[in-house]
Each structure stands twice: as C-alpha cells, then as structure tokens.
Structure 1
Amino acid sequence: MIKSFKVVALGLSLLLANVCVSHAQDFQKGFAAYEKEDYATVLKEWRPLADRGDAEAQFYLGLMYKNGQGVTQDYKEAVRLYGLAAVQGDADAQISLGEMYNSGQGVTQDKKETVRLYRLAAEQGIAQAQKNLGAMYINGQGVTQDSKEAIKWYRLAAEQGNADAQYNLGWMYYIGLGIIQDNVYAYMWYNIAASGGDANAVNERDVIAKKMTRSQLEKAQDLASECVKKNYRGC
C-alpha cells in the first residue's frame, strides 16, 4: 500500500514538473514573439496562460491592451489584467495598476489606491515603486504630505541606483526639505544622478557648484566617489 502511494506521488510530481516546463516554454515562446512584435503569436501563447492564472502573462497582456499592441487599446481590460496579476503579488502589475489609478485611465482616479499599490511593490524592494511612493509623500497625494517619509523611500530607491530618486534626494538637500539644508550632499546626489544619465541633474549640479567653495566641491566629489564604491549605501 505504501509502495503504491509512493508510485502515485512520484507520478504526480513528474506530471507537475512537465506542466511547469511546458508552461515556461509557452511563456518564453510568447516573449520571443513579443520582442519581434509578432503579436498574433504572443496572444496565442499568452492568453491561455493568463486564463489559467499566470501572473506574468496577465501583466504582459495588460501592457498590450494599455498600449494597443496587437489588440485594440482598452484601458479597462488593461486594468482588469493588471489587477489579476497584482493580487498575486506581481510587482510590475502593482506599479502599472497604481499608475492607472494615479492617472484615471480605465478606472476612476484614486490616489489612495495608487499609494496602496505602490507600497505593495515598494515593500518588495522594487526601486521604481519606492521612488513613486516617495513622490506621493512629497506631493501629499493619497497620503498626508510627509517629507521625511519621502526621503526614506527616495533613499531606498537611490541605494539601488535609481537616478530619479538620487536626483530627488539632491533637490531635497538643496532646498532643505525634510532634512537639514546641505549643498555638499545636494551636489553629491546630483553628481551621482548625473553619472546615471539624468540630464536635469547635470544642470542642477552645475548651478549649485557656483555657490560652493573649492573645499566644499572637493568634499562633495569625494563623497560621491565613496558613495559609488559603496553601491550607494550608507551615503
């Protein structure tokens, strides 16, 4: 009896393994087609996966409906698909659905729901969501305005190399919002963001440099170099 049970259990395990492999192969076929903009093949591969509850397929189908890629643009359908993936913990879907609620595309605009969704993804450590959540706090949208909380989320995103968050930290140090005003640290973060490709940071860095002494500039540049070496942590 025990031996029979083990045989059945082994059979089920092998069956599930084969299903998972087939599932992954179908998704990869769809992704390869997506990159080639072969949307007919994408829909053929991903729609059945989405119908079976695959969060990644649901997210990408939602993206296609939002952008009108291979389908008629439909914000409501995008919201529906994003929602299915978001409740399964898919961070990309949580961010995208949050953006839909933020702009009111396909759904009634709801800043509080935007914050809730951004927070779900931010707490998974996603830099884009952390930066977005920081922006909601700095602007007091969907939450009580809180500059210190904004700094917290911007810093978490900045530590992952998010140039927008690094720029925003520089700005907050520059004007002294939620933190003691400090041109040295403002320059440091602007310089780091500029190195990450933020054109606005280049301009702001150069403006603030004119207000700094030579020793302040040298210190800011040294701090920026040290920060990069530490992978932006503890800066």
Structure 2
Amino acid sequence: MKTRLLFILLLLPAFGFASYFSDGMRAYKSGNYKVAKELFEMAIEEDGAEQAQFLLGLLYLKGLGVDRNLPKAKQLLGKAAELGNARAKCYLAEVYLLQKKKERQTALKLLKEGKKAGALECVDIAATHKLPL
C-alpha cells in the first residue's frame, strides 16, 4: 500500500491538470481516506487551502483513515473556521463538546454562527448534544 501511495504521490505533480486538493477530494469521495489525508496535507502545504484544512480536520475528528485525534482536529478545524469555513465551526463545536472540557458555551456560540452562515450540520450536532439553537 505504501508503494502504491508513494507512486500516486510522485506522479501527481506531473499532471498539470491535477491539484492536490482535487485529487484529495476524489480520494475522499471514494472512501480512500489515507490517500485523501496525504493529498490534503500537500494542498495545505502548497497553498494553505481552507477547504483542505476543513476536510483534514474532519478526518481526524471522525477517525477516517487516521487514528481519531481531537487536538489535531481542533487545530485544523479552528484554522478553517478562521479562514471563513462555516461548516468547520460546526465540527469545531463538536470537538469542544466531545472533549468534555467546560467549553459548552464556546461550542454553542460556534454552532449558532455556523447555522447563521447556512451550515446545516450545526443543527444536527446541536440536536445530538441536546443543545438549543
């Protein structure tokens, strides 16, 4: 698997039409989360891609293709939220709620902000944690 991943990663720059992020999205959508992780990391390194920050944070939050890592998810989702990603606010709130640190008010604020910006995930996360929005 490592050889295959290395082969893919070495070939990607040769294709002018491909970007790390778009290839990462294809891997993510096909459920190949380990490859998606590597490609999102390269997209972030290449241009700080806010959407790649968000999706990589989501991988760490959900434990998709990586070990679940709430501090890493918090860092990545926080950066994506700072860059304007409304959905990242929803999942960042979920990280706060899962960490069980008295961050309920911070989480509620993030959920309200995300919902106001149109991120419907905030409604589901609030309902799961029995928070009124």
User: Does the 8 Å contact 1:131/1:157 carry over to 2?
Assistant: yes
Name the SS for the 2:131 alignment partner.
helix
1:99 matched to 2:99: no
Q: Measure the CA separation in 1 of the matches of 2:17 and 2:53.
A: 16
Q: Which runs of 4+ in 1 moved over 4 A?
A: none
User: Does the 8 Å contact 2:70/2:99 carry over to 1?
Assistant: no
- Mapping 1:109-188, distance limit 5 Å: 109-140=68-99, 144-166=101-123, 168=126, 171-173=130-132
In the alignment, residue 63 of structure 1 is paired with which amino acid? M
Report the Cα offset of residue 63 of structure 1: 1.8
CA RMSD of aligned residues (A): 2.9
Report the Cα offset of residue 137 of structure 1: 1.1
User: Does the 8 Å contact 1:128/1:157 carry over to 2?
Assistant: yes
| Structure 2 unaligned regions, length at least 5 | 1-11
- Mapping 1:19-38, distance limit 5 Å: none
1:48 matched to 2:7: no
State TM-score, norm by structure 1: 0.44
| Matched pairs, number | 119
Q: Measure the CA separation in 1 of the matches of 2:95 and 2:20.
A: 26
Q: 1:47 to 1:119 in 2, by over 3 A?
A: farther
State TM-score, norm by structure 2: 0.72
User: Does the 8 Å contact 1:61/1:81 carry over to 2?
Assistant: yes
User: Does the 8 Å contact 1:47/1:61 carry over to 2?
Assistant: no
The percent of aligned pairs where both chains have the same amino acid is 24
Q: Measure the CA separation in 2 of the matches of 1:98 and 1:158.
A: 19
Q: 1:49 to 1:100 in 2, by over 3 A?
A: farther
User: Which of 31, 39, 48 is equivalent to 1:81?
Assistant: 39
| Structure 1 unaligned regions, length at least 5 | 1-44, 52-56, 174-188, 190-235
Q: Measure the CA separation in 2 of the matches of 1:50 and 1:120.
A: 27
Report the Cα offset of residue 80 of structure 1: 0.9
Q: Measure the CA separation in 1 of the matches of 2:93 and 2:61.
A: 14
Report the Cα offset of residue 62 of structure 1: 0.9
Report the Cα offset of residue 92 of structure 1: 1.3
Q: Measure the CA separation in 2 of the matches of 1:82 and 1:67.
A: 13
In the alignment, residue 62 of structure 2 is paired with which amino acid? S
Q: Measure the CA separation in 2 of the matches of 1:172 and 1:108.
A: 27
Q: Measure the CA separation in 2 of the matches of 1:86 and 1:135.
A: 23
Q: 1:105 to 1:79 in 2, by over 3 A?
A: same
Q: Measure the CA separation in 1 of the matches of 2:74 and 2:88.
A: 10
